[in-house]
Structures are given as structure tokens and as C-alpha cells.
Amino acid sequence: MKYKISTRICFIVFLLTILFSGKLLFAQPEEIIINHSKSFKNNRQAPVTFPHGLHMEKFECLDCHHRYENKKNVLDEAELEEGNPAAQCSGCHNLKKTCDLQKAFHRQCLNCHVNNRKSGEKSGPRMCIGCHEKSGSSLHGLGSILKKE
């Protein structure tokens, strides 16, 4: 009887360990500071505090992260770990081509925000100050916009 209980406890502990280690392994930051001011020569805007966690609640990873080959997104979600260039826009949108990186940010974010607004969905900011807050303060106010209903 003792052996049977010990086996169950060990099995439960094992499952819990796997469950929580997986959560930690794939954990992503709630907010990401996007600051490429050294790369953008004519940059007059403040850095962006991007609410990554709020976007993760509503969208799939590959809705934003991409690597296209023959017009198909071939990026593997397993590549999207912190520190991997595939997880960062600047990993592919070369910082030497600042216009390309800047356009990539604006196209990705603004297109989605504008299209959500047009379709009657709640939308993120569409004006510069909505993302590039002068004080550098966080975009916590987006919570009500992005949370699933």
C-alpha cells in the first residue's frame, strides 16, 4: 500500500514539474521596450512600450512574427524564444536599413489597428502619441482594448 501511494505522489510531482517547467520555458515578457533610436538617424519619437502580453492573449505568434518564402510564412514558432533574432523585428529587418525597420513596425502595427477599427473591432492606437508616449510611460491603458471579450 505504501508503495502504491509513493508511486502516485511521485507521478503527480513529475507531471506538475513538467507542467510548470514548460510554462517557464515558453514564458514571454509582458512588455517589450522598442527603442532603436541609435539606428533611426532622424528619430524624433520616444521609444515604444509594447504590451506583448496583451497581444498574446488575442493573437497567435505567427500573426505578427513572420519569415516569408514564396509568399508563405515559414517561421517556426519554436524559434520565437527570447534572444533569438527570429523573435525580434531587427533580426530580419536589418538595422542598417532603418527605413525598412521603421516601415516594418508601422505597417505591422498600424495596418492591424486600422483594419480592426474599420471592421468595428476594438483597436489599438493609430496616432503617433498613442505608442510613442513622450513620458516613456507604459501603454497599460490598452488592456481594455486588447483583452478578449
Task: Return the domain boundaries, the chain.
Answer: 29-146
Q: What pTM does this model have?
A: 0.63
**Residue type (1 letter), 85:** P
Task: Return all residues near 123 (Cβ < 8 A) that are at least 6 apart.
Answer: 113, 114, 116, 117, 145
Helices and strands per DSSP (H, E), number in the chain:
6, 4
pLDDT computed for residue 149 by the predictor: 40
Name 50's bridge partners. 32
CB 56 within 8 A of CB 79: no
| Locus of grid cell 523573435 | 87
Cα separation, 15 vs 10, in Å, equals 9
> Are residues 67 and 129 in contact, defined by beta-carbon separation less than 8 angstroms?
no
With a cut of 70, which residues of the chain have pLDDT below it?
1-5, 15-28, 38-43, 95-99, 134-149
**The pLDDT value given to residue 23:** 44
- CATH 3.40.50.2000 correct for 29-146: no
Rounded to whole angstroms, how far apart are CA atoms 106 and 111?
A: 8
Predicted local distance difference test score (pLDDT) of residue 47: 87
What is the reported pLDDT for 110?
92
What's residue 5's pLDDT? 67
